[in-house]
Amino acid sequence: MGQQIPMASPDITDAEIAAVNAVLRTPILSIGPQIVAFEQAIARYTGVDYAAGVNSGTSGLHLCMIAAEVGPNDLVLTTPFSFIASANSILYERAIPVFVDVDPVTGNIDPALAAQAADDLSRGGSAARRWLPRMVDPSTVGRLRAILPVHAFGQPADMDPILETARRHDLAVIEDACEAIGAEYLGRRAGTIGDAAVFAFYPNKQMTTGEGGMIVTDREDWANLFRSLRNQGRDVFDAWLNHTRLGYNYRLDELSAALGLTQIQRIDELLARRAQVAAWYNQRLADIALVESPVIVPDTTRMSWFVYVVRIMPPADRNVLMARLAEVGVPSRPYFTPIHLQPFYRQTFGYHLGDFPITERLGEISLALPFSGVMTEAQVDYVCAQLRVALADN
């Protein structure tokens, strides 16, 4: 076996280590000044009025469902081509994810299909039935409440037609920007376009807090609600240990916030490093006939590279290719396994293969290659060379 290439690596410097160590020398490890400073820094960077730190992107999406008044048997339009947390956040409020197939170029929710789904669901009857999961009784469903677009892999969804659909049907728009901090759609920052948005900071993301997330919004009432819900339902102005509503322990601790504060101060550098690695990949893969590199559409005025996902075209076999790459120290991952084909969703909602053909096709051919901002050009060279060899033997 040759080199061992990491699938992903966080970009951590002495500055981050010093910031975390400094917090460890204080008596305040939770609910302190670091989370306030981190929230303010994210709000400034994105250009929103309010930010609320949480312990994961998943938690943030859940709280957004509550703020949007999504309740039992209500409907939320979203994509099946995503990490499972986006759809799960809807289920946490006992609502029903209504999946809409995706654009074949970007992998983001198809806005024309989302508009058609919203129109049909509003009409009810047989028109609505085609969009509902097989095992959902149409007579029991509530109203359509929200649209949850996901900015897959750091490329924003086509938001303007989504906003128009939301306006016509009085829907909340919650952006799952967990993979897209710093991305721009027609000059607007991802996360600032809908009613609220969520960023996530897992170690393979553009910036990290270890685990953690951030909700952003321009709505003061929602911001206050987020801060209450993340802290066991205690309102901002409540007396100590008074709890106004049912809440959760979704707080982000001071150590994580200190790490995140240092990372957001470096965000332009972090994004530029990832863009350089993506450019190296693009250059080296351009002449490989069976590998399609990511396509950045014109409406994406800034790509925020979360992962580098190629498409392996027939007659090459992606799964065989993954095994051969692993033998030479190059990890790779299928991205994504369609949510509707996950065992829980099949069992709960009765989804079948063939329900969302574009999503399923992307799930079959998409392959994430090793990627991070600390990856070297030599490592990219090695990955691409081994990919060529594996394809030749495929």
Same fold, 14-265 and 267-393: no
pLDDT at 49 over 70: yes
Report, as an integer, the average pLDDT of 308-325: 98
Residue 14 pLDDT:
98
180: pLDDT strictly greater than 80? yes
pTM above 0.95, yes or no: yes
Amino acid 239: pLDDT: 79
How far the first Cα of the chain sits from its last, in Å, is: 19
3 state DSSP class of 264: helix
pLDDT attached to residue 1: 57
Instruction: Dump the DSSP string for 20-83.
Output: HHHHHTSS--SSSHHHHHHHHHHHHHHT-SEEEEES-HHHHHHHHHHHTT--TT-EEEE-SSS-
Domain ranges of the chain: 14-265, 267-393
| C-beta pairs of 340-348 under 8 Å, 24+ apart in sequence | 340/80, 340/99, 342/84, 345/87, 348/135
Distance, CA of 54 to CA of 35 (rounded, Å): 10
Residues 6+ apart with CB under 8 A from 27: none
Whether 236 shows a pLDDT value over 90: the answer reads: no
CATH homologous superfamily for 267-393?
Answer: Aspartate Aminotransferase, domain 1 (3.90.1150.10)
The yes-or-no verdict on residue 125 having pLDDT over 70 is yes
pLDDT, position 241: 86
Q: What is the pLDDT of residues 371-385, one digit of tens each?
A: 999 999 999 999 999
Tell whether the model's pLDDT for residue 353 goes beyond 70. Answer: yes
Say whether 96 sits in a helix, a strand or coil: strand
Beta strands in the chain (DSSP E): 50-54, 75-78, 96-99, 144-148, 172-176, 184-185, 188-189, 196-200, 213-217, 291-292, 300-302, 308-312, 333-334, 366-369
Chosen CATH of 14-265 out of 3.20.20.30, 3.50.50.60, 3.30.70.1060, 3.40.640.10: 3.40.640.10
- pLDDT tens-digit readout, 56-75: 999 999 999 999 999 999 99
What are the pLDDT digits (tens) for 240-293? Answer: 889 999 999 999 999 999 999 999 999 999 999 999 999 999 999 999 999 999
pLDDT at residue 376, as a whole number? 98
Instruction: Please state the rounded mean pLDDT for residues 338-363.
Output: 98
Residue 211's beta-bridge partner residues?
Answer: none
Q: Is residue 194 scored above 70 in pLDDT?
A: yes
Query: Strand 213-217 to strand 196-200: parallel, antiparallel, or no bridges (unpaired)?
Result: antiparallel
In the three-class reduction of DSSP (H, G, I as helix; E, B as strand; rest coil), residue 342 is classed as coil
Specify the residue for token string 């994509």.
79
